[in-house]
A and B are shown apart, each in its own frame.
Chain A
Amino acid sequence: MKKRLATIALGAVMAAGPAMADLVMPLLSYRTGPYAANGIPFADGMTDYFTLLNERDGGIGGVPVRVLECETGYNTEKGVECYESTKGEGALVYQPLSTGITYQLIPKGTADGVPIHSMGYGRTSAKNGKVFSHIFNYPANYWDGASIAINHILDVNGGDIKGKKIALVYHNSAYGKEPIRTLEELAKIHGYEFSALPVDHPGQEQKSQWLQIRRERPDYVLMWGWGVMNQVAIQEAANIRFPMENFIGIWWSGSENDVLPVGDGAHGYKALALANPGAAYPIYDDLKTHVYDAGKSAGAGDQTGTVLYNRGMYAALLAAEAVKKAQEIHGEADITPAMMRDGMEALSLSEEDMAALGLPDFGPAFTVTCDNHGGGGLGKVQQWDAKAKTWSVITDWIESDKSVIDQLVAEDSAAYASENNIEERCN
């Protein structure tokens, strides 16, 4: 009720003055709880990028961006509360940064006509735009990630991994279970032995899993972890002296927070990258002048240049570019969620576009179409240098094995479509 009174009061103020337009970007962040170490840099990066756009360009297309932050604590119930409380304010796109909350929002967002962008997480088969009209997961998804990791292992081994043992250590949740099907399919093709080891939330207790790894001696270990689970896994791997260059994490298991606590033991640990780490980009000069030095940085302001800060910034950039696209398509600056959806579906970013935005050689070039909401599925591999305390990218863009993934996406989305009586679009 109080909220409604406040809204009415605000409405009265706004009705009195000239109509103030703004672009509402809800930010379902988690700065508390067991996943806060990863949630904070992402939220800071996103907020700082929108602040930069407001300060430097006066918003997007002349309309200021209003970031509506809501704390979820990585908890689905709070996620629902956040969604309902921000939906009414004209939220353009939701980026929940949680696979659990994404699953919750997929039907709700579709019914309410609000697009959802789960960048590199969420339901993988949402790539199929024919079934999931309002859900986007570009530039890459979990199954791409699994395939990219296997392709990297293939590269390292000269293309033959027959008989090798590959283990997956995963967060025992929807998030962690996502890659299993893909890895099993790829095992049939490449002839490696696959085993999966679940770790229960929040992941502080992994002794038995790593004991098993020590006993079975897999050649490679893949990890789908998040939050405190990552640090513990890397520490345990160091404890059993597992060769770190054979330990590869998904892009959510490769930030500074995950490796720094382990110290020298983490040297050589690999992780996938959705976009490049580091602060050596022209955009950081703008951020410094307009945001940091102006005292407008989000949070404590100590996360700049970290992997997850960059990724949060990238997520905000993709949202901002989609807004520009939507403004271009509809010729209107103050867009609605429906227009935002059209903008996201028509999004196309090339290397030159990224360079013009101050991030040359940062993220992949990709195009979103009506039937492909997942982008190109490219990723890099980065490796941790414990002495210099930096991540360095060691490969070029690696492409995932589309022949396997497209088949799986088609199967899973068809199952969703028949469960929910959805007719295919784009035909």
Chain B
Amino acid sequence: MFYREAGDFSTTYSQDSQTFPIKFDRYRYYVVMAVAFLVVPFLINDYWANAVMLPFLIYAIAAIGLNILTGYCGQVSLGTGGFMAVGAYACYKLMTAMPDVNIFFHVILAGGITAIVGVLFGLPSLRIKGFYLAVATLAAQFFLVWLFNRVPWFYNYSASGQISSPERTVFGIPVTGANTDAWATYLFCLVFCAGSAIIARNLTRGSLGRTWMAIRDMDIAAEIIGVNPLRAKLTAFALSSFFVGVSGALFFSVYLGAVEVGEVFGINKSFLVLFMVIIGGLGSIFGSFAGAAFLVLLPVLLKLVGVDMLGWATDIVAHIQLVVVGLLIVVFLIMEPHGLAQLWRLAKEKLRLWPFPH
């Protein structure tokens, strides 16, 4: 009825190629952004920021990063945790070495450093594919964690090997350290998250994204029609690692505040982000958000229902969490292998024909 192109005329090329061609979608997007930027900061408290919104936003950035590499370019990576660690440690070294520079730039620089590291570990992808590449990135994961544990320079020779983020401000308002307000950390992460999503969305719609998808769908055919695999794969690794690095930097500096590399950026993190991408939907920016929301919110929701409302023992609820999340992953993969994004896509298709489906 209202969800269709009819009557919405494009009179310029830029209108014709915009992200949301349907008017309803466009307004919905504006409303979501307005709520996220203008309404949520006034309502948020410490619990909602630290237990729900920050992990959701930060994991969404990581999932966007991995989605570029795995979903769009078809290169399976199990090194996400390691690359997040690079972002975190780069951010820490920059924060402590240059305390006068704004944390905003540190986070971006940390992403840049991770991009360089990502390209280095992406070089083998030119020769190896599929499972073998997964194993190579797994090696990156273990090597990077080992490196940050082994070399004291990375943690400024602290006795415990932990890195902890000192207080840094943006426009005079602290966003890292102990004395932060919930709305400030939320907005800081939201800016990065929204920025990453917009950049990633537009990259994947452009020529770069098309070369990635060509490589993903059939690399030999792509090469024959003139796609340079070296350039396509390495840019995918670089951009993917950039976003993953930004998320690692935020994860350490804003969300946790103190990090121990083996515990926080271990192989589990790589799998978690990979699950987010698979459940959310490979090759979809919306899917990255949906997957992150699913895996961040579901445990919290189960805990609230089980412990706080039903009064069950905490260990029972923790076990049920594992069972339920595992079961849902299996169910999703069977019922909808293309993830939550596909459900969303189907819903939109249905809505377009409503109320007269054929």
> Residues of A with Cβ closer than 8 Å to B?
2-3, 6, 29, 31-32, 36, 40, 69-71, 73, 75-77, 80-81, 84-85, 87-88, 99-100, 103-104, 106-108, 110-111, 123-125, 172-175, 177-178, 180-181, 198, 200-201, 299, 412, 415, 419-420
Contacts and interface: CB of A to CB of B under 8 A. Distances in A.
A181 B159 contact: yes
Contact of A108 (B158, B162, B178, B263): B178
B258 interface: yes
B167 A76 contact: no
A103 B178 CA distance: 12
Contact of B256 (A99, A104, A198): A104
A299 B316 CA distance: 11
A215 to B, nearest CB: 21
Contacts of B308: 2-3, 6
A84 B46 CA distance: 7
Contacts of A415: 158
Contacts of B47: 3, 84-85, 87-88
Contact of B262 (A80, A172, A299): A172
Nearest to B264: A76
B309 A6 contact: yes
Contacts of A181: 159
B41 interface: no
Contacts of A111: 178-179
B50 interface: yes
A289 to B, nearest CB: 24
Given A173-B260, A174-B260, A181-B159, A71 B164 contact: no
A32 B318 CA distance: 7
A80 B318 contact: no
B55 interface: yes
A172 B263 CA distance: 10
B32 interface: no
Interface in B292-318: 300, 303-305, 307-309, 313-315, 317-318
Given A3-B308, A31-B314, A177-B161, A81 B300 contact: yes
Contacts of A29: 314
Interface of B: 46-47, 50-51, 55, 149, 158-162, 164, 166-167, 177-179, 255-260, 262-264, 266, 300, 303-305, 307-309, 313-315, 317-319, 322
A126 to B, nearest CB: 12
Nearest to A201: B262
B186 to A, nearest CB: 13
B256 A80 contact: yes
B251 to A, nearest CB: 9
Nearest to B317: A71
A177 B155 CA distance: 13
A110 B167 CA distance: 14
9 closest Cβ pairs, A-B complex? A31-B315, A107-B178, A174-B160, A111-B178, A71-B314, A81-B51, A32-B318, A84-B47, A103-B258
Contact of A2 (B160, B258, B262, B305): B305
Nearest to B158: A415
Contacts of A103: 160, 162, 164, 258, 260
A71 B315 contact: yes
Nearest to B251: A77
B305 to A, nearest CB: 7
A123 B313 CA distance: 30
A380 B166 CA distance: 38
23 contacts: A2-B305, A2-B309, A6-B308, A31-B314, A32-B319, A71-B303, A71-B317, A81-B50, A84-B50, A87-B47, A88-B46, A99-B160, A103-B160, A103-B164, A104-B257, A107-B178, A107-B257, A173-B262, A180-B159, A198-B149, A201-B266, A415-B158, A419-B166
A276 B258 CA distance: 34
B260 A70 contact: no
A112 to B, nearest CB: 8
Nearest to B45: A88
Contact of B161 (A125, A174, A419): A174
Given A6-B308, A31-B315, A85-B51, 6 more contacts: A3-B47, A3-B308, A80-B51, A87-B46, A103-B260, A177-B159
B95 to A, nearest CB: 11
Contacts of A123: 160
A420 B263 contact: no
Nearest to B319: A32
A93 B258 CA distance: 20
Given A107-B164, A419-B166, A172 B258 contact: no
Contacts of A177: 159-161
Contacts of A174: 160-162, 260
Contact of B149 (A36, A77, A100, A172): A172
Contacts of B263: 75-76, 100, 173, 201
A199 B47 CA distance: 35
A32 B315 contact: yes
Nearest to B54: A80
Nearest to B96: A419
Nearest to B262: A201
The winner among A36, A107, A200, A415 for most chain B CB atoms within 10 A is: A107
Contact of B159 (A6, A110, A178, A419): A178
Contacts of B164: 103, 107
